[in-house]
Structure formats: structure tokens, C-alpha cells
Amino acid sequence: MNAELKCILCVEDEPEMIDLIRLILGRRGFEVKGANGGIEGLKMIRQEMPDLVLLDLMMPDMDGWEVYQQMKADEKTKNIPVIVVTAKAQSIDKVLGLHIAKVDDYIAKPFSPQDLMSSVERVLNKTKT
């Protein structure tokens, strides 16, 4: 794999949202993989070890917070940055996400391509060693 090509895993229960994110980020040279729901997402996170996870909160099989907690509890996946992408945009959720759960960023749906790109680049630049 090209060292410059960052792999981003989008964990989302809406295939259209995965396609949209793949379109936006793919144009900027990112490899975007999609996981349909939390259970598949967690499995793919452990298999793929992506550079970044875009995580929806409200999914029917396993919600995003559960996926996040399991990722952070696993030694292999705990350092993978997570951006929460959700329609659940009340400010209390943002506070919970950023300050209590310590997600790397939080994007409210609907978002602009520029918001998504800025967030992804900011988080990936912050995690460079």
C-alpha cells in the first residue's frame, strides 16, 4: 500500500452516506472503506487497522458509542483516531463526545464537503508522529 494513501473506514448504516464520504475523500486521495453498521465496523477496524475511523452514532445493530468503547478498550485499536459523524447534533452530545469520551472530532450531519475535509486533515495531521 502506498504510504501516502491514508485508509479511512466509514462506519455507517446508510450506504448513501458511505458513498458520499467516499466521493468527497476519494477525490483528495484517501482510500475510503465502508462498514454497514457497528458490528461489521468493529470487525473491519480490527482487520484493516485504518488510519482514521468516521463513526456514526445511531445505528440499529450496535451504536457508535459502543463501537468507540470497544475500540478504546482494545490495545491494538485504541490509538486509531475517531471522528463522530452524526445527525445527533445537540450541543450536549458534542460536549460528551469531545470532552468525556475524547473522540478526536465531531461533525454534524448534514455537513459540507469542506467541513469533512477540514476535520479529516486536522485529525490526521494531529496524529502524525
Give alpha helix (H) positions in the chain: 15-26, 38-48, 64-73, 91-95, 113-127
Q: Mean pLDDT in the chain?
A: 88
Q: Which domains does the chain have, with CATH numbers?
A: 7-127 (3.40.50.2300)
Q: Report the distance separating Cα 32 and Cα 120, nearest Å.
A: 12
What are the tens digits of pLDDT across the range 42-77? Answer: 999 999 999 999 999 888 999 888 999 999 999 999
pTM: 0.89
Taking alpha carbons only, the member of 59, 65, 63 closest to residue 100 is: 65
Q: Report the distance separating Cα 124 and Cα 102, nearest Å.
A: 15
Q: Do residues 25 and 8 touch, judged by C-beta distance below 8 A?
A: yes
Q: Report the distance separating Cα 101 and Cα 59, nearest Å.
A: 18
For residue 78, pLDDT over 80 is answered with yes
Q: Do residues 113 and 27 touch, judged by C-beta distance below 8 A?
A: no
Q: Do residues 88 and 43 touch, judged by C-beta distance below 8 A?
A: no
Across 77-98, average pLDDT: 74
pLDDT of residue 2: 44
Q: How many Cβ atoms are within 10 Å of 20's Cβ, its own excluded?
A: 18
Q: Report the distance separating Cα 57 and Cα 107, nearest Å.
A: 11
Q: Do residues 64 and 42 touch, judged by C-beta distance below 8 A?
A: no
